[in-house]
Structure 1
Amino acid sequence: MMRHAPLVAALLSLACVAPPAAAHEAGNGGGVAQRLSQPLQPGLDEGVLLVVTLAPGEASPAHRHEAHVFVYMLEGEVLMQVAGGPERRLKPGDVFEERPDDIHTQAQNLSRTAPARFAVFMVKKRGVPVVLPAN
């Protein structure tokens, strides 16, 4: 966990300053709000910060990111898993990582009454979509 401390601190400072996602403000709906897209190397890599809100009971379909992904839970409880990895129950303050070759098989809000919200920081190649199909 300590090796992630600077990353988590930077992610938190950006996520906490940003207002909640518009979908979150409107009620219990889900949504993704991009908060930052910053080139890291000219023409190569970029850092992207998203805030994801999952509506009560909502689950995302299997997907991949072709990026190094770092998740920091802000509120609620979410079940996360990548193919071949263990299921993880994330609560506020927990972190989750994905590698560029991982297939993200589960991201499900475990609450039936409240949204779940998490910040996602990723380092990816410029021009590659943030989310790609699992296959």
Structure 2
Amino acid sequence: MKTFFPAAAIALSCLMAAAPAVAAPEANVTLLTTEPLPEYPGKEVQMIAVDYPPGAVDPVHRHDAHGFIYVLEGSIIMGVKGGKEVVLKPGDTFHEGPNDIHTVGRNASTTKPAKFIVLLIKNKGAPILTPVK
């Protein structure tokens, strides 16, 4: 079941609204599934699909979760505070820990879209994204 995940889009929209007059395109986030993890009380897994239009840039944020990224198409650039930026292509993966601050997240291309899947292991009911200033 594919449904649009408005909370993430609203959070990204609010952050993008505070950006300079020429803001980068926003990511389109689709919630694919949310499943409880009964073996781990209070935890759940959420899977989302992220579509980056050409030139899309994420605001600085954290997930307060283990996030596992798998790139489906295009190229993306990811980085966390204290780590190196990496360019990911289809088939590549990336992990963010619950204490990581996601400082770099963007489409590597200004002309081609990119798409990736994110699997988040998090506290039940917690937001998928928390802005960091």
Q: Same fold (TM over 0.5)?
A: yes
CA distance in 2 between counterparts of 1:121 and 1:127 reads 15
TM norm structure 2:
0.77
- C-alpha deviation, 1:58, in angstroms: 0.8
8 Å contact from structure 2 (residues 47, 120) kept in 1: yes
CA distance in 2 between counterparts of 1:97 and 1:30 reads 19
Name the CA shift for 1:110/1:68 in 2 (closer, same or farther; >3 Å): same
Normalized per residue, which structure has more helix? 1
- C-alpha deviation, 1:120, in angstroms: 0.1
1:29-68 matches, within 5 Å, as 30-41=27-38, 44-68=42-66
Please state whether the residue corresponding to 1:47 is helix, strand or coil: strand
Aligned to 2:95: 97
CA distance in 2 between counterparts of 1:115 and 1:60 reads 14
- Runs (5+) with no aligned partner, structure 2: 5-24
Deviates more, 1:36-45 or 1:110-119: 36-45
Give deviations 1:92-132, integer Å, cap 9, x for gaps.
00000000000000111011111110000010001211101
- C-alpha deviation, 1:60, in angstroms: 0.3
Amino acid at match of 1:39: P
Please state whether the residue corresponding to 1:127 is helix, strand or coil: coil
- C-alpha deviation, 1:43, in angstroms: 5.4
Amino acid at match of 1:133: P
TM norm structure 1:
0.76
CA distance in 2 between counterparts of 1:94 and 1:68 reads 17
- C-alpha deviation, 1:30, in angstroms: 3.3
Give deviations 1:34-55, integer Å, cap 9, x for gaps.
0000000275000000000111
- C-alpha deviation, 1:84, in angstroms: 0.2
- Runs (5+) with no aligned partner, structure 1: 1-17, 22-27
Matched residues, number: 111
8 Å contact from structure 2 (residues 48, 117) kept in 1: yes
Q: Percent identity?
A: 41
